[in-house]
Structure 1
Amino acid sequence: MQKGIIDRFEGEYAIIEFYGKTKDVLRSELPAEVKPGDTLIFEEGKVMIDTEATASRKEEIDSLMDELFEE
């Protein structure tokens, strides 16, 4: 099992970060509903969205943003 985070899309490719390094993956090989910031699980030729890890990262980022932009 390998996990990656979608950084962005460039044309027909998704740029996915795996342990600090990026890799281009054809968008057609991913679930249709993926979006930047989603955590993906790559296992035995299948790709799934890790909704728990995605939500956890979003909460952490939102918290950091709140701290950064406090008045």
Structure 2
Amino acid sequence: MERGVIDRFEEEIVVIEIGGVTRDYPRSSLPKGAKSGDAVIIEQDRIRIDNKETSKRKKEIQDLMDELFE
């Protein structure tokens, strides 16, 4: 099992960052509604969204933005 973050979409390819390295996967391997910034869990070519980690990352980013613009 590996954990990563969706970096970007390029046509039918999704680029996922895993431990500082990016890898390409077919866009069709993602669940519907997946978007850039979502945390994912990759298990044997099956990719699923890690909703808990995605929410945690979004909160951390929002907290940093709030600090920056105070």
Whole-angstrom CA distance in 2 between matches of 1:52 and 1:31: 16
2:27 aligned with 1:27: yes
| Map of 1:69 onto structure 2 | 69
Unpaired stretches in structure 2, ≥5 consecutive residues: none
Whole-angstrom CA distance in 2 between matches of 1:15 and 1:40: 12
Q: Percent identity?
A: 51
Whole-angstrom CA distance in 2 between matches of 1:14 and 1:68: 30
RMSD value, Cα: 1.0
Off by >3 Å, runs of 4+ in structure 1: none
Unpaired stretches in structure 1, ≥5 consecutive residues: none
| Map of 1:39 onto structure 2 | 39
Spell out, residue by residue over 1:36-64, the C-alpha distance to the aligned partner (whole angstroms, 9 max, x if none).
11011111342211000000000000000
2:54 aligned with 1:54: yes
The normalised TM-score by structure 1 is 0.90
How far residue 23 of structure 1 moved from its aligned partner, in angstroms, is 0.9
The normalised TM-score by structure 2 is 0.92
